[in-house]
Amino acid sequence: MEQKRIAAIVGSFRKNSYNRQLALAAKEIIGERAIFEIIDFADVPLMNQDFEHPAPEPVRRVREQIKAADGVWIFTPEYNHSYPGLLKNLIDWLSRPISKEERQVLSKKPIAISGASNGMGGTVTAQDLLVMLLSMLNARVMNFPRLRVPNVQEQANEQGLLVLTTSKPYLEKQADAFLKFIQE
Query: If DSSP states are collapsed to H, E and C, what string results for 79-146?
Result: ECCECCHHHHHHHHHHCCCCCCCCCCCCCCCEEEEEEECCCCCCCHHHHHHHHHHHHHCCCEECCCCC
Q: Which positions from 111 to 150 touch ligand FNR by CB under 6 A, shown as an x/- string? A: ------xxx-x-----------------------------
Question: Residue type for 135, please?
Answer: S
Which residue minimizes CB distance to ligand FNR? 119
Rounded Cα distance, 112 and 174, in Å: 8
The least distance separating ligand FNR from the CB of residue 122, rounded to whole angstroms, comes to 7
Contact between 103 and ligand FNR per CB under 6 A: no
- Residue 56 has a CB neighbour count (10 Å cut-off) of 15
CB 10, CB 20: distance < 8 Å? yes
The least distance separating ligand FNR from the CB of residue 146, rounded to whole angstroms, comes to 15
Contact between 155 and ligand FNR per CB under 6 A: no
- Within residues 33-92, the interface with ligand FNR by CB under 6 A covers 77-81
Of 85 and 97, CB closest to ligand FNR: 85
Rule CB under 6 A: choose which of 4, 9, 18, 94 binds ligand FNR: 18
Compute how many residues bind ligand FNR; rule: CB under 6 A.
15
Residues 6+ apart with CB under 8 A from 60: 54
The least distance separating ligand FNR from the CB of residue 165, rounded to whole angstroms, comes to 16
- Half-sphere exposure for 63 (CA within 13 Å, toward CB): 20
The least distance separating ligand FNR from the CB of residue 153, rounded to whole angstroms, comes to 7
The least distance separating ligand FNR from the CB of residue 87, rounded to whole angstroms, comes to 11
Rounded Cα distance, 81 and 95, in Å: 22
Contact between 19 and ligand FNR per CB under 6 A: yes
Q: Where along the sequence are the contacts to ligand FNR (CB under 6 A)?
A: 12, 14, 17-19, 77-81, 117-119, 121, 152
